[in-house]
């Protein structure tokens, strides 16, 4: 099935000529839901109970997934975002492409805690999603 999945992804990328991650995730989620419903319909009384949803869901439910950015990000830029996520206190003076990050809403600028000097870069939810992580609570 892996080959069929890769073929579908290649076809979507070539046909639409743009990143299709959102469409892929929706298709995969719909397929999983259909498969789950089909299996449950044919499983009978032995099927395990459905997971809780909505108001019944436990408080430990997953956070809402932020879609990844719809533009390519260079590997060097991803490394800077990962360093910021790991706690590096990057400033606009230390990151040459900070304006590119800010324009694409990957980072937010905060005033320097020292009261003067270059502004500090902080990852936004879209910045966290770009590196495939969730922000700490």
Mean pLDDT in runs of 10 for the chain (137 residues)? 68 67 76 79 65 55 62 87 93 90 88 89 90 83
Helix, strand, or coil (residue 121): strand
CA distance 110 to 123: 11
Residue in this structure with the two tokens 């492409």, named with its chain if needed: 97
Q: What's the pTM?
A: 0.51
* Residue ranges of domains in the chain, CATH in brackets: 2-53 (no CATH), 75-130 (1.10.10.10)
Q: How many CB atoms lie within 10 A of CB 65?
A: 9
């Amino acid at each position: 099935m892996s080959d069929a999945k890769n073929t579908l992804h290649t076809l979507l990328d070539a046909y639409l000529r743009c990143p299709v991650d959102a469409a892929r995730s929706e298709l995969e989620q719909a397929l999983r839901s259909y498969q789950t419903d089909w299996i449950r319909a044919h499983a009978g009384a032995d099927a395990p109970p459905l997971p809780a949803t909505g108001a019944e869901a436990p408080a430990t439910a997953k956070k809402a997934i932020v879609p990844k950015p719809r533009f390519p990000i260079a590997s060097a830029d991803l490394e800077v975002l990962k360093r910021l996520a790991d706690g590096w206190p990057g400033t606009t003076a230390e990151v040459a492409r900070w304006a590119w990050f800010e324009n694409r809403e990957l980072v937010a600028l905060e005033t320097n805690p020292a009261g003067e000097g270059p502004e500090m870069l902080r990852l936004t939810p879209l910045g966290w999603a770009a590196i495939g992580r969730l922000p700490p609570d």
